[in-house]
Amino acid sequence: MKNLITALAVALAAFGTSAYAADDAKPTAQQNKMGMCNKDAGDKKGDERKAFMKTCLSAKKATQQDKMKMCNKDATGKKGDERKAFMKDCLSK
């Protein structure tokens, strides 16, 4: 009987510790992405929502090089301080 109580106490202590650790776990990158896509989906329903979520979750984040290309293209015609300000703003998004 004493061994049973000891084993039960050890099991409860181990379970309690692991459950506590799980509460402190940070969401993974995929979980964060799912939350962002879910928020962006808004009021979409049914097939429209499924299509949106599929596209959103499979989208790759633009690399810094891709951003630079896009911002340079959009900055065509701007010069000097105006271009610097535009590029700073564009690249920070």
- Is residue 85 a part of any domain in this protein? yes
- Is residue 90 a part of any domain in this protein? yes
- Is residue 14 a part of any domain in this protein? no
- Is residue 78 a part of any domain in this protein? yes
Containing domain of residue 74, as a range?
A: 62-93
The pLDDT of residue 62 is above 70: yes
How does DSSP assign 40-70, residue by residue? Answer: HHTT--HHHHHHHHHHHHHPPPPPHHHHHHH
> In whole angstroms, what is the distance from residue 46 CA to residue 74 CA?
36
pLDDT digits (tens, 9 = 90+) for 9-60: 566 566 655 555 555 688 888 888 888 888 888 899 999 999 999 988 888 7
- Is residue 93 a part of any domain in this protein? yes
How many domains are contained in the chain? 1
pTM over 0.75: no
The pLDDT of residue 77 is above 90: yes
- Is residue 57 a part of any domain in this protein? no
Three-state secondary-structure class, residue 3: helix
- Is residue 70 a part of any domain in this protein? yes
- Is residue 35 a part of any domain in this protein? no
For residue 74, name the pLDDT band (cuts at 50, 70, 90): very high
